[in-house]
Amino acid sequence: MANTSKGVLQGTMTGRYEDLRRFLYDVETAEELVYIEDLELVHSDTQQDKTLTFNIKIATYLRGDPVKPVVQ
């Protein structure tokens, strides 16, 4: 695709199951073109207040301004 670039957001998220589920739903149903490329639940030896931690990688494609011809 001309004038496009891939944008990636990657990191670790921690929260209650209900909040993380709502976040994932919002990403999946967004009007913008957004992909969850990778999602990995991080194993925890302790269960702190019923929270979950996962690593996530989200990608989208960004469109740049069209190249305008230079008139000389």
Domain ranges of the chain: 4-63
Does 15 score more than 80 pLDDT?
yes
pLDDT for residue 12: 95
Token pair for 28: 């999946």
> Could you report the per-residue pLDDT of 16-62, keeping only the tens digit for each?
999 999 999 999 899 888 999 999 999 776 666 788 999 999 999 88
Whole-model pTM? 0.70
Please give the full DSSP string across 45-62, using - where no structure is assigned. Answer: SS--TTEEEEEEEEEEEE
pLDDT band with cut points at 50, 70 and 90 for residue 66? low
pLDDT for residue 61: 87
* CATH number 1.10.3720.10 is the correct assignment for the domain at 4-63: no
Cα–Cα distance for residue pair 57/68, rounded to 1 Å: 34
